[in-house]
C-alpha cells in the first residue's frame, strides 16, 4: 500500500492521472468490520460478514488494446541484471511450476476438472493431488481471487458443498490479509501479547535437523524436503512441521516463519504470519498451544499408505526427540509463560 501510494503520488506530481483498483483480495480489509466497528479476530463471523456482501466485487475485463509506448526510455536487458542465483538451487521448482498467467489458468482448470469435487475429503491428504496449488499464482497476482471465485461459482452445480469448502480457504486468505492490515506488527510480534514471554530455546542443531528434513519423524521430514525441492508444502504438513518446531523443539515461530519465508515459492507475509501464529497458539482464532500434534499419528491418519512419505524420504534417521518427553517439555514451557 505504501509503495502504491508513492507511485500514485509521483505520477500525479507529474500531472498524470493515476488510479488503483483492488484485484488481489475479494474485499479491501478496511471494509469488513464487526458490529462494534472493530476488526475481526475470529474467522467464522469474519467470513459470514464477507459472504453477506456482494461477491465477487465489480469486475472489468482487460482492455482490448493498450497503446504501446512510442518512445521507450533506454534500459538494460533483464538478463543483464543477473538476478538469477549462480548456484541453480531452484532447479526443482521448474519441474513443478509454470509461472505466469497461462500456467495459473491451466492449474485452475485442472483443479476444477479433476480435484474440486473431492476437495473436502482429499484436501488433507498430502499423498493425493487434492488441492489447487494456486497459492504462488495468487500471491504473485498471476490470477486473482475474484477470478477463482467466479470460476468456482460457475462450475458449482452438483458439488455445492465442495465448492463452498474451497471458497472458505480463499476466506482464510482474506482473513490473513485483514489481520495483517489491522495488526501490522504481527509478522514480528504475537497477536496474543502474553506469548511475547514464551521461553523459546534457540538452538542451532535441532533447527538444522528441521530445515534439512532430518528430525526422524517421517511426515515432518517429507514436508521439509518437499519444501526445499519444490518451494511448496502441503497445508496439513505445514501444520505438522511448524508445530514440531514450536512445540517439540521449542524454537520460536518467528524462526520457522523466516525459514518458510526464504524457501516457499508462495511465501506471503499475511498467510505465513497467520499460519505460524495459528500453529504457535499466539494468533487470532489459533489452535491452542496445549493441543500438540503427534507427528506419528498425523502420518497414520493423513498418509495411511505412506504414499507421501515414501516419495520424499528415502533415508530414515532416528528421532531427535522423544514425542512424549517433548510434549511434557512444551506443556511445562507454556505453564512457565503463564506464571511469568
Ligand atoms: C505454518 C504455515 C505457513 C503458511 N505459509 C503460507 C504462505 O507463506 N503463503 C500461502 O499462500 N499460504 C501459506 N499457508 C497456508 C496454506 O498452507 C497454503 O495456502 C496452501 O497449502 C496452498 O496450497 P493450495 O494452493 O493447494 O491450497 P488450496 O487448499 O487449494 O487453497 C486455495 C487457496 O486458499 C488460500 N489458503 C488455503 N489455506 C489457507 C490458509 N490456511 N491460510 C491462508 N490462505 C489459505 C491459498 O491462497 C490457496 O492457494 C501456510 C500455512 C501454515 C500452517
pTM of the model: 0.95
Burial 299-310 (b: 16+ CB within 10 A, else e): beebbeeeebbe
User: Can you give the CATH number for the domain in which 212 is found?
Assistant: 1.10.579.10
Residues 176 and 202 in one domain: no
pLDDT of residue 90: 83
Those residues whose C-beta lies under 8 Å from the C-beta of residue 53, and which sit 6 or more positions away, are 27, 31, 32
Confidence of residue 202 (pLDDT cuts 50, 70, 90): confident
Residues 241 and 324 in one domain: yes
Distance 167 CA to ligand 1 centre (A): 12
Q: Give the whole-angstrom CA distance, residue 15 versus residue 213.
A: 55
pLDDT of residue 54: 83
Nearest to 134 by CA among 97, 188, 91, 88: 97
Structural domain includes residue 79? no
- Ligand 1 atom nearest to CA at 123: 29
Domain boundary among 163, 182, 201: 182
Q: Does residue 203 contact residue 252 with C-beta atoms inside 8 Å?
A: no
**Mean pLDDT within 48-52:** 95
Confidence of residue 105 (pLDDT cuts 50, 70, 90): very high
pLDDT of residue 140: 96
Residues 31 and 178 in one domain: yes
Domain boundary among 140, 157, 182: 182
Residue 57 has pLDDT above 70, yes or no: no
**Mean pLDDT within 221-234:** 97
Q: Give the whole-angstrom CA distance, residue 173 versus residue 305.
A: 31
Of 169, 210, 232, 293, best ligand 1 pocket probe by most atoms within 8 Å of the beta carbon: 169
Give ligand 1 pocket residues (Cβ under 6 A). 123, 131-135, 138-139, 169-170, 172-173, 176, 235, 238-239, 242, 260, 264, 266-268, 271-272, 274-276, 279
Structural domain includes residue 209? yes
Residues 174 and 270 in one domain: no
Distance 16 CA to ligand 1 centre (A): 38
Burial class for 311, CB neighbours closer than 10 Å (0-12, 13-18, 19+)? middle
Distance 318 CA to ligand 1 centre (A): 30
Structural domain includes residue 214? yes
Measured by CA distance, the residue closest to atom 30 of ligand 1 is 132
pLDDT of residue 230: 96
Residues 280 and 213 in one domain: yes
Structural domain includes residue 64? no
Burial 229-242 (b: 16+ CB within 10 A, else e): bbbbbbebbbbbbb
pLDDT of residue 206: 98
Residues 212 and 139 in one domain: no
Residues 112 and 230 in one domain: no
Confidence of residue 86 (pLDDT cuts 50, 70, 90): confident
Residues 218 and 132 in one domain: no
Measured by CA distance, the residue closest to atom 45 of ligand 1 is 173
User: Can you give the CATH number for the domain in which 135 is found?
Assistant: 1.25.40.80
Residues 222 and 268 in one domain: yes
Q: Would you put residue 216 in left (φ > 0), alpha (ψ -120 to 50) or beta?
A: left
Of 178, 247, 275, 298, best ligand 1 pocket probe by most atoms within 8 Å of the beta carbon: 275
170 by DSSP, 3-state: which? helix
Structural domain includes residue 295? yes
Q: Does residue 148 contact residue 137 with C-beta atoms inside 8 Å?
A: no
Residues 141 and 197 in one domain: no
Q: By residue range, what is the domain housing residue 133?
A: 22-57+93-182
Of 266, 267, 269, best ligand 1 pocket probe by most atoms within 8 Å of the beta carbon: 266
- Ligand 1 atom nearest to CA at 134: 25
pLDDT-above-70 percentage for the chain: 99
Burial class for 91, CB neighbours closer than 10 Å (0-12, 13-18, 19+)? exposed
pLDDT of residue 58: 59
Nearest to 26 by CA among 61, 58, 4, 63: 58
Residues 120 and 99 in one domain: yes
Residue 324 has pLDDT above 90, yes or no: yes
Confidence of residue 59 (pLDDT cuts 50, 70, 90): low
pLDDT of residue 209: 98
- Ligand 1 atom nearest to CA at 135: 49
Query: Which of 14-28, 57-71, 109-123 bottoms out in mean pLDDT, i.e. has the lowest?
Result: 57-71
- Ligand 1 atom nearest to CA at 139: 11
**Mean pLDDT within 93-99:** 93
**Mean pLDDT within 311-334:** 97
Nearest to 98 by CA among 109, 88, 87: 109
Neighbours of 44 (CB within 10 A): 12
Residues 167 and 29 in one domain: yes
What's the structural domain count of the chain?
A: 2
Distance 25 CA to ligand 1 centre (A): 14
Between helix 43-51 and helix 160-182 the angle, nearest 10°, is 110
Residues 229-282 have pLDDT tens digits of: 999 999 999 999 999 999 999 999 999 999 999 999 999 999 999 999 999 999
Residues 130-167 have pLDDT tens digits of: 999 999 999 999 999 999 999 999 999 999 999 999 99
Structural domain includes residue 41? yes
- Ligand 1 atom nearest to CA at 138: 47
Averaged pLDDT score across all residues of the chain: 95
Domain boundary among 137, 160, 182: 182
Amino acid at each position: 500500500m505504501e509503495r502504491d501510494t508513492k507511485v500514485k503520488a509521483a505520477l500525479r506530481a507529474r500531472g498524470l492521472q493515476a488510479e488503483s483498483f483492488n484485484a488481489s483480495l475479494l474485499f479491501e480489509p478496511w471494509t469488513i468490520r464487526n458490529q462494534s466497528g472493530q476488526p475481526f479476530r475470529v474467522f467464522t463471523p469474519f467470513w459470514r460478514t464477507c459472504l453477506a456482501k456482494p461477491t465477487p466485487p465489480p469486475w472489468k475485463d482487460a482492455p482490448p488494446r493498450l497503446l504501446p509506448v512510442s518512445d521507450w526510455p533506454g534500459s538494460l536487458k533483464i538478463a543483464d541484471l543477473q538476478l538469477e542465483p549462480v548456484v541453480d538451487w531452484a532447479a526443482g521448482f521448474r519441474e513443478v511450476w509454470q509461472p505466469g498467467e497461462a500456467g495459473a489458468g491451466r492449474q485452475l482448470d485442472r483443479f476444477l476438472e479433476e480435484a474440486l469435487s473431492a476437495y473436502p475429503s482429499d484436501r488433507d491428504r498430502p499423498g493425493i493431488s487434492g488441492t489447487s496449488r494456486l497459492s504462488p499464482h495468487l500471491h504473485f497476482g498471476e490470477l486473482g481471487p475474484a477470478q477463482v471465485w467466479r470460476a468456482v461459482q460457475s462450475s458449482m452445480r452438483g458439488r455445492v458443498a465442495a465448492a463452498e469448502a474451497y471458497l472458505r480457504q480463499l476466506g482464510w486468505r482474506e482473513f490473513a490479509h485483514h489481520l495483517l492490515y489491522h495488526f501490522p506488527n504481527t509478522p514480528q510480534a504475537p497477536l496474543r501479547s502474553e506469548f511475547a514471554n514464551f521461553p523459546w530455546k534457540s538452538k542451532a542443531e535441532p533447527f538444522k535437523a528441521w530445515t534439512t528434513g532430518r528430525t526422524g519423524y517421517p511426515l515432518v521430514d517429507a514436508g521439509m524436503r518437499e519444501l526445499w525441492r519444490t518451494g511448496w508444502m502441503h497445508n496439513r504438513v505445514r501444520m505438522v512441521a511448524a508445530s514440531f518446531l514450536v512445540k517439540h523443539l521449542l524454537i520460536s515461530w518467528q524462526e520457522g516463519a523466516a525459514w518458510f519465508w526464504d524457501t516457499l515459492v508462495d511465501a506471503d507475509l499475511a498467510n505465513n504470519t497467520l499460519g505460524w501464529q495459528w500453529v504457535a497458539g499466539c494468533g487470532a482464532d489459533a489452535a491452542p498451544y496445549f493441543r500438540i500434534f503427534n507427528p506419528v499419528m498425523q502420518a497414520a491418519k493423513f498418509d495411511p499408505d505412506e504414499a507421501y512419505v515414501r516419495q520424499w524420504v528415502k533415508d530414515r534417521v532416528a528421532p531427535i526427540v522423544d514425542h512424549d518427553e517433548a510434549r511434557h517439555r512444551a506443556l511445562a514451557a507454556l505453564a512457565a509463560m503463564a506464571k511469568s
